[in-house]
Chain A
Amino acid sequence: MKSQDEIVAARSADWRELETLVSRAEALHHLDGPSISRAAALYRALSGDLVLCRARCTPDLVAYLDNLAGRAHSALYGAEPFPLPAFGAFLTREFPRVLRRNASFFALAAALFLIPCAMGIVLALLVPDAASQILPRSMLDGMADMYSKGFDEGRGEGADSAMAGFYVRNNVGIAFRCFATGIFFGLGSVFYLIYNGLNIGMVTGWVTAAGFGRNIGTFMCGHGPFELTAIVVAGAAGLRMGHSLVVTHGRTRLGSLRESAPDIVCLVVGAAVMLLIAAAIEGFWSPSAAPPPVKWAVAALFSLLVTAYFVFAGRERGRAP
């Protein structure tokens, strides 16, 4: 039976070698072939030492070996580099498929968003004071002022960039919050969908009541198909997350949550991509000087595109979604 000092004397050279190998790179695939196989061999030998030392040695040595094993493990099994071809497949097939699989959540999220939105428009049009009772007057006036001029001359390029930046930050933030708060058993997503729907509806109604309905209409129609859909998709992901916490099918809540995680990731990443497209359109196309009929035609084309993408993309012959 070897004492601790004898084990250390016999093995510490190997341990140090492994330590330098794993310190040299975050992930081992940056190293050359012989170094990688040497590291793998040293790691296997270390695992034997670890079993031996756990039985015989003092905790400080065991902690050292545990730490070294952990570092070698995460170096040997380093994270997959970001898979770019997989991202193409994700956009063309995976995302629409997953969305079709979660169609009921998408429908529920759409209802939670669009019904308050419609109510907001109607309320703001019928009851003149409704919008100003709910939203700050200064913000509403600012909005009305913004749309009062129309886009006959377009906006300056600088203003375009500023607004694109603003929309990226603001709208992606709205969508991500719609999703993330779904962790509270879906309630946060429900709240943010209704809240944002009502908000957008109220503003649209107010601006229309002020007499600039055509302006805001031609402005929003371009990016709406992407942006509003993306917010609904993010909300649907949040609802799916909340649902998996409530309806667990006999699993633990956490287990059920993990089970639905791949779908959730898909939906959120898809929504993020759509929001980036929306921001680009919103910043540069929507405020352009193109005549309203062209804008409405493009909007119809975009809506058709998004619908066709969700319905048909990624289908395989002879197989259900």
Chain B
Amino acid sequence: MAEQARRLQPIDTTAEIETPEHVRFHYPVAGPARRVVAWALDWLIRGAVLLLFAFIALLGGLAVGDAVSGLSTGFLLVILFLLEWGYYTLWEVAWNGRTPGKRALDLRVVSVHGHPLRTGDSFLRNLLRAADFLPLGYAIGLVVMARDSRFRRLGDMVAGTMVIVEERRAVASALRIDPPPTPKELASLPQRLPLSGDELEAIELFLRRKEGLGPAREEELAAMVAPLFASRMGIRNKDSARLLALLHARASERRRPL
């Protein structure tokens, strides 16, 4: 699979970054669905903050009387203004490209070159929400996103940014064959396996995915290829998944320098 990837870049929603140190890595670009959810979360938070301040103003009005009604109206309107135009930029600057909604969904805004978001660019991309939102409900933004390979809305294009997914992943655990292969099982396999590098890689990928598969699915997938390998080597195939594990064990013991 790695060799194929080198030959042909897979069609995928990732962005390759090359840093000044010539480190290359890939970011998965965030699609519209995830971003809509993050936006909805931020919207709820903004609503809650506004309600909170409205409650404070209400308490103030009850305590002092009508005299503060103008004051609290002005106060609420300024809060509303800040939530409309400042909320995103304030968070994105403070949290290096994330708002609470983006953080909850493991999203981050970075520049298209993978650099951290700058204050001015954050301001630009969030002002352009006024254009992305038109005619209503971010309709233009969504159409523009759908046409772009990095899912950028208009604001992202002007500011030179993109939204990436930073999902935490776990290190793959080491492969174990359970129960360990018996000498008898290994002896039934030929010393030199008639398998190509790609086939061995496919087997390894299957074994690493095994943990996440149900027993029936595991058997079904293994049964697709194991009989082919078995007949090529002229051996009997009783347990397809087991056979693939044994083939992998034999291949890695040969690869290991003795």
Total number of B residues with any Cβ neighbor in A under 8 Å: 72
Q: How far is the CB of A230 from chain B (nearest CB, A)?
A: 14
A177 touches B23 (CB 8 A): no
Q: Mark A80-111, 1 if CB is under 8 A from B, else 0.
A: 10110000000000000000000000000000
A67 touches B169 (CB 8 A): yes
A58 to B208, CA, bound (A): 8
A73 touches B114 (CB 8 A): yes
Q: Mark A263-274, 1 if CB is under 8 A from B, else 0.
A: 011001100000
Task: Give the residue among A4, A156, A172 with the most B Cβ atoms within 10 A.
Answer: A4
A59 touches B1 (CB 8 A): yes
A165 touches B75 (CB 8 A): yes
A77 touches B115 (CB 8 A): yes
Interface residue B226 (Cβ < 8 Å from any Cβ of A):
no
Known A-B contacts A77-B116, A79-B118, A165-B73; A55 and B2 likewise in contact (beta carbons under 8 Å): yes
- Name the prevailing secondary structure of the A interface residues: helix
A70 touches B25 (CB 8 A): yes
Partner among A50, A64, A157, A269 whose Cβ is within 8 Å of the Cβ of B23: A50
A162 touches B131 (CB 8 A): no
A26 to B91, CA, bound (A): 12
A58 touches B131 (CB 8 A): no
- Name the prevailing secondary structure of the B interface residues: helix
B73 touches A47 (CB 8 A): no
Residue numbers in B under 8 Å from A159 (CB-CB): 70
Interface residue B105 (Cβ < 8 Å from any Cβ of A):
no
B77 touches A74 (CB 8 A): no
Interface residue A61 (Cβ < 8 Å from any Cβ of B):
yes
Q: Mark B154-198, 1 if CB is under 8 A from A, else 0.
A: 100111100010111111101100000000000000000000000
Q: Which residues of A contact B (CB under 8 A)?
A: 1, 3-5, 8-9, 12, 15-16, 26-27, 43-44, 47, 50-51, 54-61, 63-67, 69-71, 73-74, 77-80, 82-83, 156-166, 168-169, 172-173, 176-177, 179-181, 183-184, 188, 241, 254, 257-258, 261-262, 264-265, 268-269, 283
Q: List 17 A-B contacts (CB under 8 A).
A: A8-B174, A26-B96, A47-B25, A54-B5, A58-B1, A58-B201, A70-B25, A74-B114, A157-B71, A161-B73, A161-B75, A162-B71, A165-B77, A172-B85, A173-B85, A257-B158, A264-B124
Given contact pairs A44-B21, A58-B208, A73-B114, a sample of 4 additional A-B residue pairs in the complex whose CB atoms are under 8 Å apart = A26-B96, A55-B6, A79-B96, A80-B118
9 nearest interchain CB pairs? A158-B70, A165-B77, A165-B74, A161-B74, A180-B130, A47-B23, A162-B73, A162-B70, A69-B25
